[in-house]
Amino acid sequence: VSQGHGFYDLAEPVEGPASPGSWSYSTLSEWRACPRRWWLTRAQYSGFRGRYPRRVYAATVEGQMVHDALEKFIEHIEAQIAQGITDYMTLRRTFPVRRVMAERRKLIEAELVGNPRIDLQALRPKISIDKCVDAFRRVSATMQSSFDPSSFGERQEGTSGKPAPQPGAEVTIKTIDPPLGGRIDWLSGREIIDFKTGERDEKHADQLRFYALLLWLQTGRTPDALTLIYTDPVERVSVPVPSESELQLMRETLASEITSIEKEIGSSTISTRPSEEVCRWCPAKAHCDDYWSSPSTRHLRLGELAGDPNRAEGDFFIADLEVNGLPSPDGGDLIMGEAYCPSLGTVQVELGRSWRSIGSAPEQARVLGAYVRRTDQAWMVSLGLSSEVFWKCGH
Ligand code: SF4
C-alpha cells in the first residue's frame, strides 16, 4: 500500500495465485528462477488490487517501444501487400515510425499511471523517441532478408487437418497437452522470428525452441528456420531447428515439469531460490523473509564496504537493509535515532516521512536501496534518491 512516493505499508498476501491456464515461456522462466517470486508477484494483497507493481526504467520503456513498433511494421507490411505494394524500401518509407513511437509511448505511459513505484514525471523526460527511431531504422534494414511478400496472408497447411496459424505479427498459439502458450513476434512463412531489445541471453535460443514446439504441436510441422533479431547492437542470430524427436522429448519434459509445478502451487509451501543474481531484480523482495536472512543474498544486503575493517569515516554504500526497533517518531514525520540492523548491528537512522497513514508508528522497516554512510561512531542509514521504504507495524 503506497503512502506517497517511495513509502509503503508492507501488506501481507491474502490469497495466492491460481495456476495459469497455459504456461508461456516467460511465466515458466519466472517460476524456474524462483517459485516464490512467481507466487508473490501474482498474489492478492490486502488494500491493493491488481498485479504487483514493478519499478520501470527508461531503457525498459524504450525497449518495449522499439519492440512494439517492429510488430506494427509487420502489420503495416501486411496491409500494404494486400494493396499490391511489395517493394520493401517503399514499405519501409511509408511506415510512419516516429508517429508510431509517440503513440506507443503514450500507451505505455497510460499503463504505468497508478503504479505507485514509478514517478512518471521523472521518468518521462528520460525516454527518447529519437533513440527508438534510430534503433528501429537499424533493425528494419536487417529484416529485409526475412521478407517474403508471398508468405503474407498465406496460411500454411498443417498435417492431419490441424489448423495452422496465419503468418504475420504477434501470432498467438495455445496448446492443450501440455498446456502451453506463446506469442510469436513474427511468423514469416515457416520462419519464426523474435525481436530482442535487451542484452544477449542464452535463454533467447531456448525461447525460440519453445515456439518451435508450439508450432509443431499445433500444426504437426517443424518450422523452417528460427531467427533472433537483436536491436542493440543489431545482429541476426540463427538458432538450429530442433528435430521431431527433440521436440517430442521437450514436450514430455515440459508436461512433467508443469505437473509438478501445479502440485506445488496447490500446496501451502512455495519454495524459494535465493541468489544474488535472481534476488537483485526481484520486485517483491520486501515480502520475502528468505531474502533478508539467506547467506547467498548477503552481499546485496551488506554492500561492499560494511565487512571491511578499514572502513573510514565518510565511506558509504547502497544496500537493502532491514532495520528493527525503530525509535518513536519525533513529533513530526521524521524517524530519527538509534535502531538495530541485523547485518550492521546498532545503527543511526534518519528515515523520512509518511509513516502516519499506517495508523501506528512502525517497528521495522525494510529499506531497498538505503544510503549507508560511516560516521565517526556508527553507520548512518538514510534514504537516497531511489530508495524505497516498506514499513512494518506490530498491528
Ligand atoms: S527475494 Fe529472491 S528468494 Fe525471495 S522471492 Fe525474490 S527472487 Fe525469490
- In ligand 1, the atom with minimum distance to the C-alpha of 33 is 7
Cα of 293 from ligand 1 centre, angstroms: 11
Cα of 388 from ligand 1 centre, angstroms: 17
CA 391/CA 348 separation, integer angstroms = 17
What mean pLDDT value characterizes the chain?
A: 88
For ligand 1, atom 7: residue with the closest CA: 279
Q: What is the DSSP string of 143-184?
A: GGGG--GGGTTPPPPPSTTPPPPPPEEEEEEEETTTTEEEEE
At residue 356, the pLDDT reads: 56
Task: Tell whether ligand 1 has an atom less than 6 A from the beta carbon of residue 286.
Answer: no
Reply yes or no on whether the pLDDT at 310 is more than 80. Answer: no
Cα of 117 from ligand 1 centre, angstroms: 18
Residue from 10, 42, 290, 366 whose mutation best tests the ligand 1 pocket (most atoms within 8 A of CB): 290
Find the helix or strand (DSSP H, E) in which 299 lies.
helix 298-302
Instruction: Take residue 140 and report the three cell numbers written for it.
Output: 528494419
| pLDDT one-digit tens code per residue, 271-295 | 999 999 999 999 999 999 999 999 9
Task: Tell whether ligand 1 has an atom less than 6 A from the beta carbon of residue 278.
Answer: yes
Q: How far is CA 68 from the centre of its chain?
A: 16
Cα of 101 from ligand 1 centre, angstroms: 34
At residue 160, the pLDDT reads: 58
Residues 354/8, Cβ–Cβ less than 8 Å: no
CA 388/CA 4 separation, integer angstroms = 11
- In ligand 1, the atom with minimum distance to the C-alpha of 284 is 6
Task: Tell whether ligand 1 has an atom less than 6 A from the beta carbon of residue 34.
Answer: yes
Whether residue 178 is preceded by a cis peptide bond, meaning omega within 30 degrees of 0, is yes
Residue from 279, 287, 297, 301 whose mutation best tests the ligand 1 pocket (most atoms within 8 A of CB): 279
Reply yes or no on whether the pLDDT at 4 is more than 70. Answer: no
Of 225, 256, 260, the closest CA to residue 240 belongs to 225
| pLDDT one-digit tens code per residue, 6-57 | 667 787 888 999 999 899 999 999 999 999 999 999 999 877 777 888 999 9
Task: Tell whether ligand 1 has an atom less than 6 A from the beta carbon of residue 241.
Answer: no
Task: Tell whether ligand 1 has an atom less than 6 A from the beta carbon of residue 294.
Answer: no
CA 68/CA 19 separation, integer angstroms = 28
Cα of 291 from ligand 1 centre, angstroms: 6
Task: Tell which wins on pLDDT, 262 or 164.
Answer: 262
Strand order in the sheet with 168-175: 168-175, 180-188, 191-196, 225-231, 234-239
CA 191/CA 186 separation, integer angstroms = 8
Find the helix or strand (DSSP H, E) in which 105 lies.
helix 97-112
CA 85/CA 141 separation, integer angstroms = 18
Residues 68/36, Cβ–Cβ less than 8 Å: no
Percent of the chain with pLDDT over 70: 90
For ligand 1, atom 2: residue with the closest CA: 279
CA 93/CA 309 separation, integer angstroms = 63
Cα of 288 from ligand 1 centre, angstroms: 6
* pTM (global) more than 0.85: yes
Q: Which residue has the cell 517492429?
A: 70
For ligand 1, atom 3: residue with the closest CA: 274
Residue from 272, 275, 280, 281 whose mutation best tests the ligand 1 pocket (most atoms within 8 A of CB): 272
Cα of 290 from ligand 1 centre, angstroms: 7
CA 110/CA 114 separation, integer angstroms = 9
| pLDDT one-digit tens code per residue, 135-180 | 999 888 888 877 888 877 666 666 656 677 888 888 999 999 999 9
Percent of the chain with pLDDT over 90: 57
At residue 209, the pLDDT reads: 98
In sequence order, what are the residues at sequence separation of 6 or more whose Cβ sits closer than 8 angstroms to the Cβ of residue 268? none
CA 249/CA 84 separation, integer angstroms = 43
- In ligand 1, the atom with minimum distance to the C-alpha of 282 is 6
Of 261, 247, 157, 162, the closest CA to residue 211 belongs to 247
CA 60/CA 38 separation, integer angstroms = 20
Of 55, 30, 198, the closest CA to residue 116 belongs to 55
In sequence order, what are the residues at sequence separation of 6 or more whose Cβ sits closer than 8 angstroms to the Cβ of residue 97? 69, 73, 133, 136, 137
At residue 331, the pLDDT reads: 66
